[in-house]
Chain A
Amino acid sequence: DAGVIQSPRHEVTEMGQEVTLRCKPISGHNSLFWYRQTMMRGLELLIYFNNNVPIDDSGMPEDRFSAKMPNASFSTLKIQPSEPRDSAVYFCASSHPGNEQFFGPGTRLTVL
């Protein structure tokens, strides 16, 4: 299996622009997670999907952030409009429910 796939690996954008991060989970995993990693706050869970349904979005920082999972093999995290404080590494992870999570390589986002 190719593991969790994320794209793009790096994204540089200007403040106010829309950013879309993409994730393909491991086939057969029906739990999907989006995390944000920063030096100041460490790893934070943004949102959790189970069977394509958002179960817990309490970690989404504000309305500028949205996430979708239209099918079992694809999810997006969108930031609109982006701000410099959104600069971070964003990870997608997937798992069988209750089991260990497998992380993708991450997207390093820089908002200028």
Chain B
Amino acid sequence: AQSVAQPEDQVNVAEGNPLTVKCTYSVSGNPYLFWYVQYPNRGLQFLLKYITGDNLVKGSYGFEAEFNKSQTSFHLKKPSALVSDSALYFCAVREGDYKLSFGAGTTVTVRA
């Protein structure tokens, strides 16, 4: 079965500093990987995806993610974090044609 792991429950950074949220995956075959963000009392919002092609994927709100096949990682990054980036972030891998398997989530807190 496909799976993802988010090794950090929480990430704390100062505003203006780089933000990295880690994700590793375990799949058979080519991975289809996604990042979602969830703000309090809201649904999940799609940030970006990797299907094939360039290893660096750019997404919404200035986020990007780097696919690393040798390290089986798909870390989410933002060069300069904002207080408004404070939220819960989920990495997910698609199993088959439709099923998403989500990580446990990482809570990001950006302090002013």
Contacts and interface: CB of A to CB of B under 8 A. Distances in A.
Interface stretch (A61-69, A70-78, A102-110): A102-110
Interface string B95-111: 00111101011000000
Nearest to B47: A100
Interface string A86-107: 0000010101011011111110
A78 B63 CA distance: 37
Given A43-B90, A100-B34, A100-B49, A31 B44 contact: no
Secondary structure of the A contact surface, majority rule = strand
B84 interface: no
Contacts of A45: 99-100
A43 B98 contact: no
Interface string B7-42: 000000000000000000000000000101000011
Residues of B contacting A: mostly: strand
Interface string A35-70: 000000011010010100001100000000000000
A103 B34 contact: no
Contacts of B41: 105-106, 108
Given A103-B44, A104-B43, A98 B105 contact: no
B45 A103 contact: yes
A4 interface: yes
A45 B44 CA distance: 14
Residue in B42, B49, B90, B98 with the greatest tally of chain A CB atoms within 10 Å: B98
B102 A102 contact: no
Contacts of B99: 45, 48, 56
14 contacts: A4-B43, A42-B105, A43-B102, A45-B99, A50-B98, A55-B98, A91-B43, A93-B43, A98-B97, A100-B46, A101-B46, A105-B41, A106-B41, A106-B42
Interface of A: 4, 31, 33, 42-43, 45, 48, 50, 55-56, 91, 93, 95, 97-98, 100-106, 108
